[in-house]
């Protein structure tokens, strides 16, 4: 999916003075295909513009990296003024982190699996990265009790995930390893019994996209982003 340039372009500020273009690419490549990085570091504090191929990847990057602690610097990541399409994350009880839910509605699917056995530090992004080995993930959510839900765009991707990723080795961004169970959610409803979610994502990913380990970061188990 492609969007206008403004929808795919994000601003990154409060960068360390020795930042390099490659460092910025390493910060954002896990969210989707980065088409261009424009680093401004010749005068004054450095900042950058990062462009993604898919506007949903840009939206994910803003929500995951804004406020991120990078080498002692708290990053400021946002859509440039007049750009961006708002959050896709307002589907269940309001947008995350106080952002409004402008733009198109979330893309949801009936091809849903339940995941159990996630480690305490397992996040929605970790879960999405793990499960997209089976195909296009359009929604992922992780809960405090170690469970989660994942929705696929296609039925065959859901069945492949159940067959190949059930009892698979799951590694969180903090290095915690568990073996997760994956089964079809036949109830067809949003899960709420596990408490408030750690976060969520609505970004489809292409089959065959590699799973990357996130940049080393400080992380504390969050009660909620909502």
pLDDT of residue 186: 81
pLDDT of residue 98: 34
pLDDT of residue 197: 54
Q: Is the pTM of this model over 0.75?
A: no
C-alpha to C-alpha distances, 192 to 43, 114, 142, 185, 197, nearest whole angstrom: 49, 12, 11, 13, 8
pLDDT of residue 51: 94
- List the structure tokens of 178: 């568990």
User: Distance (Å, rounded) from C-alpha 211 to C-alpha 29?
Assistant: 11
Burial of 2 (0-12, 13-18, 19+ CB in 10 A): exposed
Q: pLDDT (tens digit, 0 to 9) for every residue of the chain, 226 residues total? A: 444 567 899 999 989 999 999 999 999 998 899 999 999 888 778 899 999 999 989 988 988 888 888 888 989 898 886 544 443 333 322 333 333 333 333 467 889 999 999 999 888 888 988 998 888 888 888 888 899 999 998 899 999 999 999 999 999 888 899 999 999 988 654 444 444 455 444 444 444 444 444 444 444 444 444 3
- List the structure tokens of 80: 């440039």
User: Distance (Å, rounded) from C-alpha 219 to C-alpha 41?
Assistant: 28
Burial of 13 (0-12, 13-18, 19+ CB in 10 A): middle
| CA atoms 226, 149, 192, 202: torsion sign | positive
User: Distance (Å, rounded) from C-alpha 129 to C-alpha 40?
Assistant: 30
């Amino acid at each position: 999916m492609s969007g206008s340039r403004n929808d795919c372009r994000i601003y990154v500020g409060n960068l360390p003075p020795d930042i390099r273009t490659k460092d910025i690419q390493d910060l954002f490549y896990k969210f989707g295909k980065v088409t261009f990085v424009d680093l401004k570091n010749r005068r004054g504090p450095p900042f950058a513009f990062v462009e993604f191929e898919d506007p949903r990847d840009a939206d994910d990057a803003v929500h995951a990296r804004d406020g991120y602690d990078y080498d002692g610097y708290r990053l400021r990541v946002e859509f440039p003024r007049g750009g961006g399409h708002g959050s896709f994350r307002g589907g269940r009880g309001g947008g995350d982190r106080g952002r409004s839910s402008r733009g198109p509605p979330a893309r949801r699917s009936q091809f849903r699996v339940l995941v159990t056995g996630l480690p305490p530090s397992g996040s929605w992004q970790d879960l999405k990265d793990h499960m997209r080995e089976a195909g296009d993930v359009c929604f992922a959510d992780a809960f405090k009790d170690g469970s989660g839900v994942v929705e696929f765009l296609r039925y065959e991707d859901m069945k492949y995930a159940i067959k190949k990723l059930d009892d698979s080795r799951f590694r969180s961004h903090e290095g915690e390893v568990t073996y997760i169970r994956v089964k079809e959610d036949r109830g067809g409803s949003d899960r709420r019994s596990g408490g408030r979610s750690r976060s969520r994502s609505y970004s489809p990913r292409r089959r065959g996209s590699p799973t990357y380990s996130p940049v080393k970061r400080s992380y504390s188990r969050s009660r909620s982003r909502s």
